[in-house]
């Protein structure tokens, strides 16, 4: 590959956060586990290209498709993804890479294959809705998933509250943006009040008012990010 998917500097950040491999048996130890870095490189390749797990190139030395899938599952269940996200957010914040004064919220609907627990009532076309809160520079701060029959208006606080404490600068870690920009689907006076109690100024377009609020100039950032998810 012309461009490395997992540069050395990034791997050095990630490596200490991964769980230690299980000790091998003294007798009949079996096959040696695939190296974590090779496995993670293959996982990143799969997520970036969208190729089926069973079509991962064996030339990458990542083992079988099941090895990569199981390793990703185990890391997710161990909470390593959240820990890594908080570390990278802190680094980004320390480099003034987060725009706390402007964040926006939006959602997209997608098929819930297999009818998992957070689906709508229809057995014919079960769907989920993913909601994201993103800063104006395009960095996702938090995300939630609901059934499609759950109104968007209920999601501003459930999106704001999971934002992790973000360090990287002197003083207490930050968790709250200054202003939140959302479209008419989230219009609710009670939710405006709850956001203000959290120290956040809600910029929510009101229903039954003329278009041209200007929120689209900010909301396109989260819309762009949501459009990338299916790819």
Asked if CATH classification 3.30.420 holds for the domain at 99-228, the reply, yes or no, is yes
Question: Tens digits of per-residue pLDDT, 70-103?
Answer: 888 888 888 777 888 888 889 888 888 888 888 8
Question: Tens digits of per-residue pLDDT, 26-58?
Answer: 776 667 778 888 889 888 888 888 788 888 887
Question: Tens digits of per-residue pLDDT, 177-201?
Answer: 888 877 777 777 877 888 888 888 8
CA–CA separation, 128 vs 147, rounded Å?
5
Domain residue spans of the chain: 8-19+32-78, 99-228
């Amino acid at each position: 590959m012309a461009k490395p998917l997992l540069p050395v500097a990034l791997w050095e950040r990630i490596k200490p956060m991964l769980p230690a491999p299980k000790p091998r048996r003294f007798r009949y130890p079996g096959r040696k586990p695939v190296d974590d870095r090779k496995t993670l490189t293959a996982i990143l390749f799969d997520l970036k290209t969208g190729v089926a797990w069973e079509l991962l190139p064996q030339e990458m030395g990542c083992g079988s498709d099941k090895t990569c899938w199981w390793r990703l599952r185990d890391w997710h269940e161990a909470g390593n993804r959240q820990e890594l996200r908080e570390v990278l957010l802190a680094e980004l914040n320390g480099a003034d890479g987060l725009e706390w004064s402007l964040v926006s919220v939006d959602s997209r609907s997608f098929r819930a294959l297999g009818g998992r627990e957070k689906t709508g009532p229809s057995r014919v076309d079960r769907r989920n809705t993913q909601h994201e809160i993103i800063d104006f520079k395009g960095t996702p701060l938090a995300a939630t998933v609901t059934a499609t029959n759950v109104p968007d208006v209920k999601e501003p606080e459930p999106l704001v509250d999971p934002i992790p404490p973000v360090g990287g600068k002197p003083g207490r870690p930050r968790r709250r943006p200054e202003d939140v920009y959302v479209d008419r689907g989230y219009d609710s006076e009670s939710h405006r009040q709850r956001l203000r109690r959290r120290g956040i100024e809600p910029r929510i377009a009101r229903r039954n008012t003329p278009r041209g609020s200007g929120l689209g100039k900010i909301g396109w950032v989260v819309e762009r990010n949501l459009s990338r998810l299916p790819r």
